[in-house]
Amino acid sequence: MNTENEAVTPEAEPTHRRGIKSFVLRQGHMTAAQQKAIDEQWARVGVDYRPQVVDLDAVFQSTKPKVLEIGFGMGTATAEIARALPDMDFLAIDVHGPGVGNLCKLIAEQNIGNIRVMRHDAVEVVENMLAESSLHGIHIFFPDPWHKKRHNKRRLIQVPFVQKLLPKLQSGGYIHLATDWEEYALQMLDVLNQFPEELQNTAADFAPTPAYRPETKFEARGKRLGHGVWDLVFRKK
């Protein structure tokens, strides 16, 4: 792990003892501006991992509905969504140091008050820190498709992980997934369809892109390569 990134939080390089992971650690150079943003903003917007349930209303000092975002990349779309939806609070989780720093920088520059940032394995956060029925929404946009067949088992969106997510979601809450990899999109659809007693698709199969989700760099890249982009929005019954 890049030593520059280890100073973000004591949990910057978590250990993992399960089969499901929300990420693969990536090396990345953190710019001086990104590190400065973490140093200056973490006390205000950062949430350190601890293996106990937290009160999200206390974390945000707000009773707004809570949305979990897993894997925010450089945070540009996260910041835009949070500004577009000021009546919701967003808990954004990623492990990539430069992305964490960049989102902290955007929060400061744009004076965004409804985002809190974590740098940890999202699976452990879901398992240990989130109370049942504490989330109004879950966003997972453009997770690693692990396109080689032998690596498909590393994909985040699988039945065991959705089983962990569903108890945290309120009745009437939603899961919004997006990918630019068609085969993964079909797998995502199949996985969510395996919970007919708990989830209802808002579309016949893939949903129109909701107005709040901006085009990400991954989406733009996919379109340039001739790929489609697929959104799925399911609501909890």
Distance CA 35, CA 47 (A): 16
Look up the CATH number of domain 3-236. Answer: 3.40.50.150
223 — pLDDT class (breaks 50, 70, 90): confident
Distance CA 107, CA 92 (A): 12
The lowest-confidence range among 28-32, 107-111, 219-223 is: 219-223
Does 44 have pLDDT greater than 90? yes
> Counting Cβ atoms within 10 Å, is residue 207 exposed (0-12), middle (13-18) or buried (19+)?
middle
Grouping H, G, I as helix, E, B as strand and the rest as coil, residue 144 is coil
Is residue 65 left, alpha or beta, with left meaning phi > 0 and alpha meaning psi from -120 to 50? beta
| Contact yes or no for 228/195 (Cβ under 8 A) | no
pLDDT of residue 171: 98
- Go through 34-46 and write b for each residue having 16 or more CB atoms within 10 A of its CB, e for each that does not: bbebbeebbeebb
27 — pLDDT class (breaks 50, 70, 90): low
Distance CA 195, CA 167 (A): 12
Active site residue 48: no
| Contact yes or no for 37/100 (Cβ under 8 A) | no
Does 22 have pLDDT greater than 50? no
Distance CA 168, CA 69 (A): 13
Between 20 and 84, whose confidence is greater? 84
Q: Determine phi and psi for 55, rounding to 5 degrees.
A: -90, 105
The predicted-structure confidence for 171-210, as pLDDT tens digits, reads as follows: 999 999 999 889 999 999 999 999 999 999 999 999 999 9
Does 19 have pLDDT greater than 90? no
225 — pLDDT class (breaks 50, 70, 90): confident
| Contact yes or no for 156/20 (Cβ under 8 A) | yes
Calculate the CA 100 to chain-centre distance: 12
- Whole-number mean pLDDT of the chain? 88
Per-domain residue ranges for the chain? 3-236
> Counting Cβ atoms within 10 Å, is residue 120 exposed (0-12), middle (13-18) or buried (19+)?
buried
Determine which one of 57, 144, 205, 231 is catalytic.
144
pLDDT of residue 20: 52
